Structure 1
Amino acid sequence: MHTGSVTTPFGRRSMTLALVKRQVAANEIKPGKSVEKWKVFRDVAEAREMLGLQDRSVAILDALLTFLPTNELRQDGQMIVFPSNAQLTLRAHGIAGATLRRHLAILVDAGLIVRKDSANGKRFARKDRDGDIETAFGFDLSPLLARAEELALMAQEVVAARIAFRRAKETLTICRRDVRKLISAAIEEGAESDWQAIEDIYINLTARLPRTPSRADVDSLLDEMQLLYAEVLSRLNIHEETEIICTNDAHNERHIQNSKPESIRELEPSSEKEQGAKSGRTDLTPRLASTSFPLAVVLKACPQICDYGQGGAVGGWRDLMSAAVVVRSMLGVSPSAYQDACDGMGPENAAIAIACILERANFITSPGGYLRDLTRRWERGEFSLGPMVMAQLKANSGGAVRRA
């Protein structure tokens, strides 16, 4: 029967307060408690990574349990097994002696077994006149009984995490397939937008997935891939609406001149040309953003710009450009520098540049001069927003996209 005492290890093995605490916890088992030993073993095997165990450690625990004559771990029963190293090696499928000792120590450190060493370190049992075990020295399995509920919960958490991980990978696979085929269909059917740039973003995202991804890798990529999927659908919807408008115009055989060209110059009356609006715009089709990046990706890369949108949010390209005007003034960028950027890059790309500059404002001495330099390099074909946005996206990959 289990004595409930605290013992120290034989020889050079050190004693720690953690070992004392585990022995005390193993002794405080509810009277009458019992559990099927192989059920506990399955829970340990399932939660082995959380417990810091290796496969060999689990194999040795399996071998130890085979030396317990009953199928139950009982509080009022004998739970000390005393096999020799030779017997353990045989039941652990010929494991080397040094490996055996190392993994026994791992099981002790994990709090799954306790050493009950004799005076000379030998493992044996003394029996009374009736043949019952009176005293045993070896490995005490009572921690398995004491921690049975805890081990079961750990196993459930591992199983739930594995299922969630598998579902996340399945969702990512489907999302990647959908984005890939939607982009291909848009390119083949001539949908209006910069689909090559969208495809480049898709390729960059998929290239980040390692051969053996972790749960964090999959979750991060899935989040960005779903944003790209939403942006692709949004652009396809805009294309469909544009086609409907053009078809209706052709059917009615009317040509309506827009007397009030769409512009966003009213966003800052002090600079009529600051937004880069072109006068005399006469088409009635919706204005498509000329940037090569989905808005959702831009907002994830540069989340601070949302604070300067109307109501503290950015819900569209016009909101982003409006926020960029506010940020331009706050950063001390002159209206002429911003106007040159709008003329050279386009108003949407200029707004993206401002958003990126805002993210790195603490590292840029002269935002206005920096924007002028970007504009000149853009016009010479020496600069594109891609690396800048992707660098910010990587820097802020832990953040969430802010929506209106």
Structure 2
Amino acid sequence: MESDYVTTPFGRRPMSLAMLLKQRRGEAIAAGTTRNKWKLFRSVCEARAGLDVTDRALTVLDALLTFYPEDELSSDKPLVVFPSNAQLSLRARGMAAATLRRHLAVLVEAGLISRKDSPNGKRYVRRGREGGIDEAYGFSLAPLLARAGEIETMAARIVADRQMLRGLKERLTICRRDIGKLISAAVEEAVPGDWQRISSTFQAILQRIPKAASLENLPPILKELEITREKIVNLLELHEKMQMPSASESQIERHIQNSHPESIIEFEAGLESGQGVTAERRAERNDQPETKPDDDSPEAQASGGERWRFAVRKRATELKSFPLTMILQACPHISDYGPGGAIGSWRDLMTAVIVVRTMLHVSPSAYEQACAVMGPENAATVIACILQRGGCIHSAGGYLRDLTRRAERGEFALGPMLMALLRAKDPPVAKLS
């Protein structure tokens, strides 16, 4: 419905083209348009920021709506309300007259109401003989009804944005908490990693969080925090995976020792601890011709206890060797240090191990002792395993010396170490038959 004429303002208020366009647009309501006035007012409150109106102006609009006698705003009925300043002030919570006029102007400027001034500037109604309204002068609610669809869409968008922003803030809070506690746990449990740098990066990101968060400035910061949290979780999971193969290796070695009580490993461990060897067994082994040393050898010149240590050391050097392909499969990192970035033979492996040994700060004496006890191929294999598990080994040289001492006592085997590395790979490697 469109008005038949244009209403110009009363008194000294000037007319403008913008006011004319707002009047024409506000009066152009599609036929049959209806809205519940209170639901529409709630949408206006939700869309307040987009409509550029204040909360005090909404108080005045609320008061104006109370003067409309029906709950439904309809394009088929008159939409002009005509309260006096005194009554409007009472329903606007006692708002002063000057403040009331200022906020009425805000509502008109926002295109939510329009003025329909009488010849003398007063607000009144002229009724017909049947009591119906023939002419009314005051404030028209037609612009509010004409923009109902626009206001409802704007309100729905603002509500959705507010919910999205709330969700972003919740995710950011949880992410901040997760990162702080994960870093504290990693430092307390001495997990390898540059936690000082990670903590500094985390604090730098937090400094960039704006006080007035919005959908434009918050997502990039949240993304950085989530990436940081993912990196920390990956470091902790990698540390946990490296700890699990180590525990599995120890369990396998204990199982091997305990499941074969008559084996050389069990017997030699008993010799080193001084338990589990009876006098008869010592005599029986001393009488065996194949273990009796030559008269000129250091073994023959040693005392009885030292003679058995020579025998233990001799057996310890007889560690089982494994195929080169299996070693490269379990320890793929060693290939990067081979000639040309690849390893195709045991000689290439030995060459790569020399480079890796220096890089891991393993002393020449520690490596030479390992070669003497385990054999060159097995010692090279151990260095490759240390490189593969470098993230959880703080001192490669000390770890190699410890393995060498265990090999001397017959308490070390390469098989469990290689199998643990094969199982730790992702995706899992099939068991070798």
TM-score (norm 1): 0.61
Residue 280 of structure 1 aligns with which residue?
A: 358
Would the alpha carbon gap of residues 286 and 5 (structure 1) be closer, same or farther in structure 2, given more than 3 Å must change? farther
* 2:122 is the alignment partner of 1:125: no
Residue 103 of structure 1 aligns with which residue?
A: 103
Residue 145 of structure 1 aligns with which residue?
A: 145
Structure 1, residues 365-401: CA drift from partner, whole Å, max 9, x if none?
xxxxxxxxxxxxxxxxxxxxxxxxxxxxxxxxxxxxx
* 2:14 is the alignment partner of 1:14: yes
- One-letter amino acid of the structure 2 residue matched with residue 58 of structure 1: L
Residue 85 of structure 1 aligns with which residue?
A: 85
Q: Which structure 2 residue ranges, 5 or more long, are not aligned?
A: 254-318, 322-326, 342-354, 360-382, 392-433
Would the alpha carbon gap of residues 78 and 263 (structure 1) be closer, same or farther in structure 2, given more than 3 Å must change? farther
Would the alpha carbon gap of residues 280 and 43 (structure 1) be closer, same or farther in structure 2, given more than 3 Å must change? same
How far apart are 1:85 and its partner, in Å? 2.2
Would the alpha carbon gap of residues 96 and 236 (structure 1) be closer, same or farther in structure 2, given more than 3 Å must change? same
- One-letter amino acid of the structure 2 residue matched with residue 163 of structure 1: Q
C-alpha separation between the residues in 2 aligned to 1:25 and 1:132? Answer: 27
Residue 36 of structure 2 aligns with which residue?
A: 36
C-alpha separation between the residues in 1 aligned to 2:339 and 2:56? Answer: 71
CA contact (8 A) 1:2 1:77 kept: no
Residue 24 of structure 2 aligns with which residue?
A: 24
Would the alpha carbon gap of residues 108 and 203 (structure 1) be closer, same or farther in structure 2, given more than 3 Å must change? same
- Describe the SS at the equivalent of 1:35: strand
Structure 1, residues 94-124: CA drift from partner, whole Å, max 9, x if none?
1122221221111111111011112222211
C-alpha separation between the residues in 2 aligned to 1:128 and 1:232? Answer: 80
- Describe the SS at the equivalent of 2:387: coil
CA contact (8 A) 1:32 1:74 kept: yes
Residue 229 of structure 1 aligns with which residue?
A: 229
Would the alpha carbon gap of residues 33 and 260 (structure 1) be closer, same or farther in structure 2, given more than 3 Å must change? closer
Residue 49 of structure 1 aligns with which residue?
A: 49
How far apart are 1:19 and its partner, in Å? 2.3
- One-letter amino acid of the structure 2 residue matched with residue 6 of structure 1: V
Percent sequence identity is 45
CA contact (8 A) 1:124 1:136 kept: yes
How far apart are 1:21 and its partner, in Å? 2.0
Residue 162 of structure 2 aligns with which residue?
A: 162
Would the alpha carbon gap of residues 217 and 158 (structure 1) be closer, same or farther in structure 2, given more than 3 Å must change? same
Residue 198 of structure 1 aligns with which residue?
A: 198
CA contact (8 A) 2:2 2:28 kept: no
CA contact (8 A) 1:2 1:79 kept: no
How far apart are 1:183 and its partner, in Å? 1.0
CA contact (8 A) 1:242 1:285 kept: no
Residue 219 of structure 1 aligns with which residue?
A: 219
C-alpha separation between the residues in 1 aligned to 2:198 and 2:64? Answer: 58
- One-letter amino acid of the structure 2 residue matched with residue 280 of structure 1: T
- One-letter amino acid of the structure 1 residue matched with residue 219 of structure 2: D
- Describe the SS at the equivalent of 2:170: helix
- One-letter amino acid of the structure 2 residue matched with residue 146 of structure 1: A
Q: What RMSD, in angstroms, separates the aligned Cα atoms of the two structures?
A: 3.2
How far apart are 1:264 and its partner, in Å? 12
Q: Which structure 1 residue ranges, 5 or more long, are not aligned?
A: 268-276, 289-404
How far apart are 1:131 and its partner, in Å? 2.5
- One-letter amino acid of the structure 2 residue matched with residue 77 of structure 1: K
How far apart are 1:62 and its partner, in Å? 0.3
- One-letter amino acid of the structure 2 residue matched with residue 194 of structure 1: D
Would the alpha carbon gap of residues 198 and 121 (structure 1) be closer, same or farther in structure 2, given more than 3 Å must change? same
CA contact (8 A) 1:31 1:76 kept: yes
Number of residue pairs matched? 279
C-alpha separation between the residues in 1 aligned to 2:153 and 2:117? Answer: 31
TM-score (norm 2): 0.58
- One-letter amino acid of the structure 2 residue matched with residue 121 of structure 1: G
How far apart are 1:58 and its partner, in Å? 0.7
C-alpha separation between the residues in 2 aligned to 1:264 and 1:125? Answer: 100
- One-letter amino acid of the structure 1 residue matched with residue 199 of structure 2: E
How far apart are 1:2 and its partner, in Å? 8.0
CA contact (8 A) 1:124 1:137 kept: yes
How far apart are 1:214 and its partner, in Å? 3.1
Would the alpha carbon gap of residues 266 and 248 (structure 1) be closer, same or farther in structure 2, given more than 3 Å must change? farther
Would the alpha carbon gap of residues 4 and 67 (structure 1) be closer, same or farther in structure 2, given more than 3 Å must change? farther
Residue 70 of structure 1 aligns with which residue?
A: 70
Would the alpha carbon gap of residues 195 and 266 (structure 1) be closer, same or farther in structure 2, given more than 3 Å must change? farther
C-alpha separation between the residues in 2 aligned to 1:285 and 1:241? Answer: 13
Moved more, 41-50 or 220-229: 220-229
Would the alpha carbon gap of residues 215 and 153 (structure 1) be closer, same or farther in structure 2, given more than 3 Å must change? same
- One-letter amino acid of the structure 1 residue matched with residue 27 of structure 2: N
Structure 1, residues 321-358: CA drift from partner, whole Å, max 9, x if none?
xxxxxxxxxxxxxxxxxxxxxxxxxxxxxxxxxxxxxx
CA contact (8 A) 2:38 2:71 kept: yes
- One-letter amino acid of the structure 2 residue matched with residue 214 of structure 1: S
How far apart are 1:249 and its partner, in Å? 7.3
